[in-house]
Structure 1
Amino acid sequence: MAWLFEPLGRHHDRADFQSASPALNACLQQLARKDAERHIAAAFVMVDDATPSRIVGYYTLSAFTVEVRELPEAQQKKLPRYPRLPATLLGRLARDARHPGTGTLLLMDALARACRQSGQVASLAVVADAKDNAALSFYRKFGFANLGDHENRVFLPMGTIAQLTHP
């Protein structure tokens, strides 16, 4: 068995996916493909090569901007004096409840993909909105820090991501 990460396609069985979050299930089942077709968010799925239509987990990436004033002061000093800078939004991240432990693999693929793409389309960081305290703790384990006064919005600079994903 090998894990594969690929863009969400028509052949993937979205109806069978069951995470612990009904909202994240509904997003995959009802919105993810439409959002991808409309260029709103790109959805990527994790599948087992033995059953490539069964979704083990998914995430979405899209363009985003961060207000420079929301970044930590030490980081602001290193940046140009623009009011906003480009970032990548990790909009959704979910794993099927039948596959514990795969969340880290999903996150690492999302970060590596965002880092690779930042060479083509500039991105200062990956931003995520943690849906609850468990998700917030999960992101913080990988070095994500709070962005501004948003309680659940976190970010990870692209330089840190490069070190994490390409040691």
Structure 2
Amino acid sequence: MVTAALDAISAEGPSALSLRDLARRAGVSHAAPAHHFKDRTGLLTAIAAEGYALLAATLAEAADLRDAGVRYVHFAREHPAHFQVMFTPELLRGNDLELTTARALAGGRLRDAVSAVPPEGRGADARLAGVAAWSLAHGFATLLLSHNLDGPLDGQDDPEDVFRTLSGMLFRAT
């Protein structure tokens, strides 16, 4: 059911998702999604929690801050439906334990990568450097997914290589 939901979100966005349509796509009874997820919000919350867990695992493999950003962009490109749902809080149960745990783990991975950069490479305030790093990676990924970089990149550059260059402009010693 999650796979069918991710396919539907990729095709039509999360607002178009209905449990009845999901059941039809998955070839199960119309009551099956509600049995597993209670309601649409429960399903979307499970998708977001899964996305944050996948993102945390991806960031855990990063060699440094620049690599964490590249992996963030790669994650968004590989999991666009997860990415879209993860960052649409009005669709989610914000107090869901699985969601808050996975979100905290992913955030911790990013903070670890920022903290590993010496202050001369990121500035004295690691917290603000983390906001800057996340903003750069998230903004770039969002612009890619919404096709707002199609013109500037013109399909000639690998987006992850472009991100490496951009992050080098912001963080000197990653």
Q: Write 1 or 2 for the structure with the bigger share of helix.
A: 2
> Which gives a bigger RCO, structure 1 or 2 (Cα 8 Å, sep 6+)?
2
Q: Write 1 or 2 for the structure with the bigger share of strand.
A: 1
Q: Same fold (TM over 0.5)?
A: no
Larger Rg: 2
Question: TM-score scaled by structure 1?
Answer: 0.29
